[in-house]
RNA sequence: CGGGGUGUACCUCAGCGGUAGAGGGGAAGCUUUGGGAGCUUCCAGCCGCGGGUUCGAAUCCCGCCACCCCGACCA
């Protein structure tokens, strides 16, 4: 393809609003254009990348018998009431929903469990048809509270979602294992470095769940990993062994002390230098919302630890948990924020504790009175220890749960997420098959998502340098950048045309820079767009000599034009191996 | 949803009471031709929207909207 005949427009200047490199580079290179917050046009080059990712995704799903279909983006409320998710998604403000011309509630699909379940109902009716996996690649809509980082978190984005249907839990686990392998193959083929991690199932629900994270410091997700044991989990889900409670001090009666302005553990450390953080118990107030009620929940936690809201929400089984507002804190404690404690909370507040408080005695906690904390408090003596659960957030340096290794926190971009749903949707939506005895049984389902557009962005986040993008060959918009130094030069025109035709005939995709521009500009554009293989046709064209100049690595080599095809084919073969 | 910031040409921005600007970009011409080349001419703007103050508003005031950032939140 000749650049002179394509919509190829690059920008010299950085877009002011791009925070991450992938976003800035894609805008500069004309790959994307923002239309509104989190909503983008994918330009021709970007679309080629997306189609390549899609092709890999399709090939790997088809390889294990996946069947592609296409479901509607526009969906009726009734379907979402059947699964019981309308309320939660509306409460989370993530659902685009509105009334159509006749006053019917509809939404733009953020995910498709409801539609797929409805679709297979009555079609998959016998155990003889199982297992089956269906998938689609389609635009998803989510009204993210804060879209950001270009394609990383959009409100409209391209996703592959797959759904498996099995007879029982064991078979579901087998289907899940197959998909886990499919995912590994997909991301490996895309040429990105990634880490599979244990994950929280969140709003989707179900039992087992793993995420596929592209390793990148700019990723939004924090991951707990252990090099020695291989443990890897999203910090939302991760469990660890925490340092034991410090020894109890000599037992003295609890006493209230003035602590003016001391609202944080750091403030209190300054006030009581002899008291270790581990003997300060914070009490944090949350507002938990269920479909039919709300409650203030107080959670105690050791001073050196943090609460993991996801674990708390899962324990409570509620729709959402957020930090209580100042007003609610005052109502529950009778004090300003920063002085909450377990003693003397309002009766309607549920008191829970993270397991980090277990064994802590003679501790400090909030006094439920502004500028007052209580010291030398003992569980058992001064108050019963609240029920404890694991609500803790893992921290770097924690031991793994088995004690065999140390946890590090790294970051990643979530590009895939797989779930064992179990019978959650098939039960609620009454989607069943007949087993060998002719008895109706709910399907055991799995669901599997890949952010297609996010994967492309993540590849850039991982592959770029000062000058621009560096695409992995399998998902690059073109394989070869053919840079012709002087358009109009007879020898160069002829050789470029010849190489272009030869390479294309051999199945290589060639972007031919035939523009009448300065050399510098062409090289800058080539660096920016990041097509991995590059051939420069310049002054030696008359002697059938060209330069072999890959986007990264390797020295520039002057080679015979007759060797170009071989080089390109070797690179393509190596990339698909 | 809280806090902060920004809206001026297709892009990046300057101008901050007195005739709408620069650079990039695009068009034309001449020169140039291996890492964003030079000169000349031209193109391009309801200064986010609405109200107010003023002889006069891009500029000051009020309201709204959009976008960005931090937080909250999030498959």
Q: Are residues A496 and A551 in the same domain?
A: yes
Q: Which domain holds residue A510?
A: 478-576
Q: Are residues A101 and A214 in the same domain?
A: yes
Question: Residue A124 in contact with residue A443, Cβ under 8 Å?
Answer: yes
Q: Are residues A513 and A539 in the same domain?
A: yes
ipTM, two decimals, is 0.93
Q: Which of residues 116-145 of A touch strand B (CB under 7 A)?
A: 140, 144-145
pLDDT at A204 over 70: no
Q: How distant, in Å, are the alpha carbons of A40, A209, A291, A307 from that of A318?
A: 34, 19, 8, 17
Q: Residue A472: inside a domain, yes or no?
A: no
Q: Residue A399: inside a domain, yes or no?
A: no
Question: Residue A170 in contact with residue A131, Cβ under 8 Å?
Answer: no
At A422, phi and psi to the nearest 5? 75, -140
pLDDT of residue A205: 58
- In this prediction, residue A203 has a pLDDT band, given cuts at 50, 70 and 90, of low
How crowded is the C-beta side of A421, counted as CA atoms within 13 Å? 27
Q: Residue A403: inside a domain, yes or no?
A: no
pLDDT at A264 over 90: no
- In this prediction, residue A89 has a pLDDT band, given cuts at 50, 70 and 90, of confident
Q: Are residues A120 and A164 in the same domain?
A: yes
Q: How many domains does chain A have?
A: 3
Q: Residue A466: inside a domain, yes or no?
A: no
Averaged pLDDT score across all residues of chain A: 93
pLDDT at A16 over 70: yes
Q: Are residues A195 and A46 in the same domain?
A: yes
| A21 CB contact with strand B at below 7 Å | no
| Closest by Cα among A194, A200, A248, A197 to A226 | A197
- Distance measured from the CA of protein residue A517 to the C1' of nucleotide B31, in angstroms: 15
- In this prediction, residue A319 has a pLDDT band, given cuts at 50, 70 and 90, of confident
pLDDT of residue A90: 87
Shortest-distance nucleotide from A33 CA to C1': B11
Q: Are residues A26 and A148 in the same domain?
A: yes
Q: Are residues A234 and A270 in the same domain?
A: no
Beta bridge partners of A302: A281
pLDDT at A472 over 90: yes
pLDDT of residue A317: 85
Q: Residue A198: inside a domain, yes or no?
A: yes
- Locus of tokens 């092709």: A55
pLDDT of residue A287: 87
pLDDT of residue A266: 83
Q: Which nucleotides of B are covered by protein (CB under 7 A)?
A: 1, 11-13, 23-25, 32-37, 66-75
The tens digit of pLDDT for each residue in A209-223 reads 999 999 998 888 999
- In this prediction, residue A554 has a pLDDT band, given cuts at 50, 70 and 90, of confident
Q: Are residues A223 and A355 in the same domain?
A: no
pLDDT at A513 over 90: yes
Q: Residue A200: inside a domain, yes or no?
A: yes
Contact residues for A390 (Cβ-Cβ < 8 A; gap 6+): A239, A311, A354, A355
Query: Can you give the CATH number for the domain in which A517 is found?
Result: 3.40.50.800
- In this prediction, residue A122 has a pLDDT band, given cuts at 50, 70 and 90, of confident
The tens digit of pLDDT for each residue in A129-173 reads 999 999 999 999 999 888 988 999 999 999 999 999 999 999 999
Q: Are residues A426 and A549 in the same domain?
A: no
Distance from C-alpha of A21 to C-alpha of A230, rounded to nearest angstrom: 30
Q: Are residues A429 and A567 in the same domain?
A: no
Query: Can you give the CATH number for the domain in which A309 is found?
Result: 3.90.960.10
Q: Are residues A95 and A171 in the same domain?
A: yes
Query: Can you give the CATH number for the domain in which A158 is found?
Result: 3.30.930.10
Looking at chain A, the whole-number percentage of residues with pLDDT higher than 90 is: 77
pLDDT of residue A194: 96
- Distance measured from the CA of protein residue A28 to the C1' of nucleotide B10, in angstroms: 13
What is the radius of gyration, based on Cα positions, of chain A?
29
Q: How distant, in Å, are the alpha carbons of A38, A91, A115, A134, A435 from that of A81?
A: 28, 14, 12, 23, 28
From A340, A361, A389, the end of a domain falls on: A389
Beta bridge partners of A156: A141
Q: Residue A568: inside a domain, yes or no?
A: yes
From A325, A360, A389, the end of a domain falls on: A389
Q: Which of residues 391-420 of A touch strand B (CB under 7 A)?
A: 414, 417
| A103 CB contact with strand B at below 7 Å | no
Q: Residue A250: inside a domain, yes or no?
A: no
- Distance measured from the CA of protein residue A82 to the C1' of nucleotide B51, in angstroms: 49
pLDDT at A435 over 80: yes
Q: Are residues A360 and A422 in the same domain?
A: no
- In this prediction, residue A15 has a pLDDT band, given cuts at 50, 70 and 90, of confident
| A487 CB contact with strand B at below 7 Å | no
Distance from C-alpha of A23 to C-alpha of A148, rounded to nearest angstrom: 9
- In this prediction, residue A408 has a pLDDT band, given cuts at 50, 70 and 90, of very high
């Amino acid at each position: 393809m000749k650049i002179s005949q394509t919509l190829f427009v690059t920008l010299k200047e950085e877009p002011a609003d791009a925070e991450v490199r992938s976003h800035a580079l894609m805008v500069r290179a004309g790959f994307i254009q923002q239309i509104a917050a989190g909503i983008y046009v994918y330009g021709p080059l970007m679309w080629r990348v997306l189609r390549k990712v899609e092709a890999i995704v399709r090939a790997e799903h088809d390889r294990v018998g996946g069947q592609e279909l296409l479901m509607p983006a526009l969906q009726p409320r009734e379907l979402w009431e059947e699964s019981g998710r309308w309320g939660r998604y509306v409460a989370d403000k993530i659902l685009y929903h509105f009334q159509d011309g006749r006053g019917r509630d509809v939404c733009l699909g953020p995910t498709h469990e409801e539609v797929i379940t409805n679709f297979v109902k009555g079609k998959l009716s016998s155990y003889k048809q199982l297992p089956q996996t269906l998938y689609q690649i389609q635009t998803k809509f989510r009204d993210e509270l804060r879209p950001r980082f270009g394609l990383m978190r959009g409100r409209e984005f391209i996703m592959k979602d797959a759904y498996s249907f099995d007879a029982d839990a064991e078979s579901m686990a087998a289907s899940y294992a197959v998909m886990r392998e499919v995912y590994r193959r997909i991301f490996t083929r895309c040429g990105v470095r990634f880490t599979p991690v244990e994950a929280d199932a969140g709003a989707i629900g179900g039992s087992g769940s793993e995420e596929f994270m592209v390793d990148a410091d700019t990723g939004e997700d924090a991951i707990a990993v252990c090099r020695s044991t291989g443990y890897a989990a999203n910090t939302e889900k991760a469990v660890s062994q925490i340092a034991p409670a410090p020894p109890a001090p000599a037992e003295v009666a609890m006493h209230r002390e003035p602590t003016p302005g001391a609202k944080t553990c750091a403030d209190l450390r300054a006030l009581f230098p002899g008291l270790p953080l581990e003997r300060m118990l914070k009490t944090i107030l949350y507002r938990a919302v269920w479909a039919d009620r709300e409650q203030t929940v107080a959670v105690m936690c050791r001073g050196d630890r943090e609460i993991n809201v996801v674990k708390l929400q899962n324990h409570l089984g509620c729709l959402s948990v957020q930090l209580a507002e100042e007003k609610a804190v005052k109502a529950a404690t009778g004090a300003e924020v920063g002085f909450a404690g377990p003693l003397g909370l309002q009766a309607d507040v549920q008191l829970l504790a993270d397991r980090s408080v277990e064994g802590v005695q003679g501790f400090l906690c909030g006094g439920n009175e502004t500028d007052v904390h209580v010291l030398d408090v003992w569980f058992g003596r001064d108050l019963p220890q609240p029920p404890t659960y694991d609500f803790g957030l893992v921290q770097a340096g924690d031991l793994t749960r088995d004690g065999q290794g140390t946890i590090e926190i790294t970051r990643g971009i979530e590009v895939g997420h797989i779930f064992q749903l179990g019978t959650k949707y098939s039960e609620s939506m009454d989607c069943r098959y007949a087993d060998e005895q002719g008895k109706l049984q709910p399907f055991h389902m799995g669901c599997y998502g890949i952010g297609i557009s996010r994967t492309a962005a993540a590849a850039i986040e991982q592959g770029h340098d000062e000058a621009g993008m560096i695409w992995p060959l399998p998902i690059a918009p073109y394989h070869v950048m053919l840079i012709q130094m002087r358009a109009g030069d007879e020898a160069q025109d002829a050789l470029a045309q010849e190489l272009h035709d030869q390479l294309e005939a051999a199945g290589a995709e060639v972007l031919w820079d035939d523009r009448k521009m300065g050399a510098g500009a062409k090289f800058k554009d080539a660096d920016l767009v990041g097509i991995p293989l590059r051939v420069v046709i310049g002054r030696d064209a008359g002697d059938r000599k060209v330069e072999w100049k890959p986007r990264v690595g390797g020295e520039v080599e002057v080679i015979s034009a007759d060797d170009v095809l071989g080089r390109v084919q070797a690179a393509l073969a190596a990339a698909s191996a």
